[in-house]
A = this chain, B = another copy of it.
Amino acid sequence: MDGQAERPASGGENGAIRKRLPPAERRQQIIDEAVRFFAEVGLEGKTRELARRLGVTQSLLFNYFATKDELIDAVYEKVYIGRLSPDWPERLTDRSVPLRYRLLAFYTEYSALIFEREWMRIFMFSGLDGASLNRRYLKHLGDVILHPLLAETNALARTNTPPKMEDVWNLHGGIVYIGIRQHIYRMPEPPKPQEEIARAIDKYLLFFGIDPGD
């Protein structure tokens, strides 16, 4: 009933011979492209289109992943894993360093990791989907980053209104929103994101009367 079917590989667009990779390598190749693909079009992207971009047949995908959901799980894993470095909780609570520097260091590194189109979009797609990995990530973020950060702020706050968790979320959200604007809404990148992050942090510290050197 078809007569045309798929027709990739065997020479294809470029002259590259793309057949018969070692399975581990092919699997990785598929995941890498799937991350780009799903980040661009969403999790409802079709396997045939993904296969076309890879220059392989659609059926090959199911040789490496039993179902599309399993492929998406691999994409989640690849994207979520390693996004929260395990040494941050320690560094954020190192009181030998002024809080301002700790915050600057954290958000400089963190924004470098998350202000990236693939991460931002897949995070948002999976969030809208209610993916459990997304919820776990946010809980983890709260536990190991934001909550400690509240404690650090509390330890230094000089105002009579004590810092609340919501204040930390506000700091965090204001910074993350830079990436949302850029990668979800595709607005132009702000001139100097690092500077905006620094200002957000200073705003936060000033509100609680925390000196830059504390």
Q: Which residues of A contact B (CB under 8 A)?
A: 42, 44, 121, 124-125, 127-130, 134-135, 138, 166-167, 169-178, 180-181, 184-187, 190, 195-196, 199-200, 202-204, 206-207
Q: List the number of copies, as a whole number.
A: 2
Write 5 A-B pairs (CB below 8 A) sorted by A numbering. Answer: A42-B44, A44-B44, A124-B128, A170-B175, A207-B207
Whole-angstrom distance from the CB of A209 to the nearest CB of chain B? 10
Q: Are B128 and A167 in contact (CB under 8 A)?
A: no
Query: How many angstroms between the C-alpha atoms of A176 and B190 in the bound complex?
Result: 18
- Per DSSP, chain A at the interface is helix
Q: Are A134 and B185 in contact (CB under 8 A)?
A: yes
Query: How many angstroms between the C-alpha atoms of A151 and B122 in the bound complex?
Result: 36
Q: Are B138 and A187 in contact (CB under 8 A)?
A: yes
| In the A-B complex, the 9 residue pairs with the closest CB atoms | A173-B177, A174-B174, A203-B207, A170-B174, A166-B196, A44-B44, A173-B174, A127-B185, A127-B184
> Given A135-B185, A176-B177, are A199 and B169 also a contact pair (CB < 8 Å)?
no
**Residues of B contacting A186 with CB < 8 Å?**
130, 135
Q: Are A166 and B180 in contact (CB under 8 A)?
A: no
Whole-angstrom distance from the CB of A143 to the nearest CB of chain B? 13
Residue in B closest to A191 when the chains form the complex, CB atoms = B166
Q: Are B170 and A42 in contact (CB under 8 A)?
A: no
Query: How many angstroms between the C-alpha atoms of A207 and B205 in the bound complex?
Result: 10
> Given A138-B185, A178-B173, A186-B130, are A166 and B199 also a contact pair (CB < 8 Å)?
yes
Query: How many angstroms between the C-alpha atoms of A185 and B190 in the bound complex?
Result: 25
Residue in B closest to A172 when the chains form the complex, CB atoms = B177
A167, A174, A199: which has the most chain B beta carbons within 10 Å? A174
A177 in complex: contacting residue of B124, B138, B170, B195, CB < 8 Å:
B170
Whole-angstrom distance from the CB of A124 to the nearest CB of chain B? 6
**Residues of B contacting A190 with CB < 8 Å?**
166, 169
